[in-house]
Every structure is written in C-alpha cells, then in structure tokens.
Amino acid sequence: MLDGPRLAPASGGPADALVVLLHGYGADGRDLIDLGQLWAPFLPGAAFVSPHAPEPCALTPVGRQWFGYVERDDRERWTGVQAAHAALDSFLDAELTRLGLSDSRLALVGFSQGTMMALHTGLRRAQAPAGIVGFSGMHIVPGEREIETFDAAITSRPPVLLIHGDRDEVIPPQALPQAMESLEARGIAVRGHLSNGLGHGIDQTGLLLAGNFLGEILGTP
C-alpha cells in the first residue's frame, strides 16, 4: 500500500477536497508536499497527500520510482504506467474513503513521471476526478496494435492543465503539444502553457497557473 506525507486543510476543518501530488523519478513524496502550503490560499479546505512511488529507485538509493527509468522508449513507458496503475488507483480509493470524499472532489497533480501516472490513472477512474495538472510530463500512448484497447479503457475525461519548460533537458518541450493533441483527440478539455527559459522543473508562473486551476475546479464543494 502506498503512503506518504500529508497536509491537513489550512482551514482547520474537515477536508472538502483532496489534492494528490505525484513526484517524479528518483524523488519521493517529500519532494512535492510543500506545494500544498503554497496552494492553500486557493484551497483552504483541501487536504494534500504526496505518496511515495512503489519501487526503490534503481539509480538513486534514497529515491523512489513509479517504474524504471526509460529514455526515449515509449513501449517501456507504456508497460511502466500499466504496472504502477493498480497501486495508485487503490491508494486514491483509500484516501477518498478515509476523508469521506468522492472523485468529484479529487485533483491529481504530477511532475515528470508523476504526470505520466496522473494522466494514465486519472483517465481510468470509474468516476471522473475534478481535474489533472501535469508539470514536465508526457501522455503515454501505446503502439497502434493496442490503441483500440487503450481508448476503450479511458472512462473519465476531467479537464487537464499541462505546463512545460521550453528548455526541458529531460522530457523535450515537444511533449507538451503532443500530449495536448492526444488528449484533445480523445475528447478531453486541455490547456497548455510553455514556460520561457525553464528547464525540467516548476517555476512561479506554473505554480500560479496551477493554483488558479485547482481553485477553479475545486473551489466550490
């Protein structure tokens, strides 16, 4: 079972929403949990949780991975998101049950490999989450032989915000328009922002855009 650091609602009351933060390769849940404090003004009633990915990182002894590092190998990435899906899906069920919330009060926020997981699992929930935010990631799609099965597995179409740096040295900036095209082709409303001068990271503009987006989709219980 996945677990990781949590932040209670800034309001001091019971949670009226849940934001799940999914870290990138070689990090762990502590890498993103502080985003909850930055976004608390937008979402005073939201609880935040940042689960540690299920596997020890092969290249960073203290880090975690959703799946093994794969450079420019879409087939292996597809295998990876599929393998990690069940653990994340079960974790989301457990956290929502614990807080007494439905998927309509859930947002997924991912960075890099965490974005891959947020998109893969978020679009396969039985009930649609309120929305998905992805920083510096990709939408992982299988080869043509599996595309019909892939499309049939998409059971929810929440709004999506994708943010990427135009100098990303890990996941090329072209991944942003590619992901937008892929999602739009599947009937998913998606917004995108390319941050000028940003590498593989999150800048202040991205934080503000994401905070506004989260406030928009979760602001009214």
Summarised one tens digit per residue, pLDDT across range 211-220 is 999 999 998 7
Residue 75 amino acid letter: R
For 68-125, what is each residue's pLDDT tens digit? 876 666 788 999 999 999 999 999 999 999 999 999 999 999 999 999 999 999 999 9
Distance CA 131, CA 126 (A): 14
Give me the domains of the chain, ranges plus CATH numbers.
6-218 (3.40.50.1820)
Strands 55-56 and 64-65: antiparallel
pLDDT at residue 72 in the model:
62
For 138-151, what is each residue's pLDDT tens digit? 999 988 888 998 99
For residue 89, which phi and psi values (nearest 5 degrees)? -60, -45
Residue 67 reports pLDDT greater than 90: yes
pLDDT at residue 71 in the model:
63
Task: Name the region of 6 (left: φ>0; alpha: ψ -120 to 50; beta: rest).
Answer: beta
Under a CB-based contact definition with an 8 Å cutoff, are residues 7 and 95 in contact? no
Under a CB-based contact definition with an 8 Å cutoff, are residues 105 and 218 in contact? yes
Residue 8 reports pLDDT greater than 90: yes
Q: How far is CA 104 from CA 18, 74, 84, 189, in A?
A: 10, 31, 23, 16
Residue 221 reports pLDDT greater than 70: no
Please give the full DSSP string across 2-38, using - where no structure is assigned: ----EE--TTSS--SEEEEEE--TT--GGGTTTHHHH
Burial class (CB in 10 A: 0-12, 13-18, 19+), 126: exposed
Distance CA 20, CA 109 (A): 6
Residue 58 reports pLDDT greater than 70: yes
User: Which of 50-54, 78-82, 134-138, 156-160 has the weakest average pLDDT?
Assistant: 78-82
